[in-house]
Structure 1
Amino acid sequence: MAIQLVTDQLSTELDEMFRNQIIGNFKTIEKALNDLDTFQTTLNFEQNKINQSLKDIDHGLESIKVDNKNRDANIEAIVKILSDYDVPVQIVNGKVLETEEGE
């Protein structure tokens, strides 16, 4: 959205130097406002990229959580099978440990 200020339509009854200074000020303000508009558009674009990256990271973390649950379930299933065949193992603090007979 380009902003255009009325600059050249100031009364010619003003002192010529003062009139030119005021016109120059308006043109400077107009350029700054348009630059801000451009920066805002860029900022919005970058914010959208960051938000998408965060969604991607969140999706990746969720995938890791699912993988960890699957791994833990598999380990527990293996330990159960081994226990059914009297192999002395158990899970302690998330680790499979060999145990002595009768423990």
Structure 2
Amino acid sequence: MDNDEQTLATNELTTLPLDHNWYQKLASNFEIIQPYLDKLNTDELGLDDLKNKFDNISDKINIYETNMQAIVNILSNYDVPIAIVDGKVVETEEGE
């Protein structure tokens, strides 16, 4: 697709009567939109790659949180006064 400036006919389509000129403008809109729809269909936008990266980051965050909870649990077993509050490791008062 070239970078020629193409604009959709919008306000112009609300005028009556629905003559051949109106039809041509409507058809032109679809011609402008079609290449973008084709990109979506062939994933030229890289959406699959983006989803894979998001899933990878999400997995790493889950592993990090699991590891952090395990460390806090181990330290708590040795009476180290810490806990996870609002996703952060904080020092607690003895006996909490």
**TM-score, normalization: structure 1?**
0.53
Percent identity (aligned): 44
Q: How many residues align?
A: 62
Which residue pairs with 1:68 in the alignment?
A: 61
Report the secondary structure of 1:100's partner residue: coil
**Greater helix content:** 1
**Of the candidates 74, 79, 88, which is equivalent to residue 95 of structure 1?**
88
Q: Deviations over 1:6-46 (max 9, x none)?
A: xxxxxxxxxxxxxxxxxxxxxxxxxxxxxx7xxx78x74x4
Q: Structure 1 residue 86: deviation in Å?
A: 0.5
Q: Structure 1 residue 87: deviation in Å?
A: 0.2
Instruction: Return 5+ residue gaps in structure 1 as ranges.
Output: 1-35
State the Cα RMSD in Å: 2.1
Report the secondary structure of 1:70's partner residue: helix
Which residue pairs with 1:57 in the alignment?
A: 50
Q: Structure 1 residue 98: deviation in Å?
A: 0.5
Alignment of 1:28-47 (within 5 A): 44=38, 46-47=39-40
**TM-score, normalization: structure 2?**
0.57
Q: Structure 1 residue 57: deviation in Å?
A: 0.4
Instruction: Return 5+ residue gaps in structure 2 as ranges.
Output: 1-30
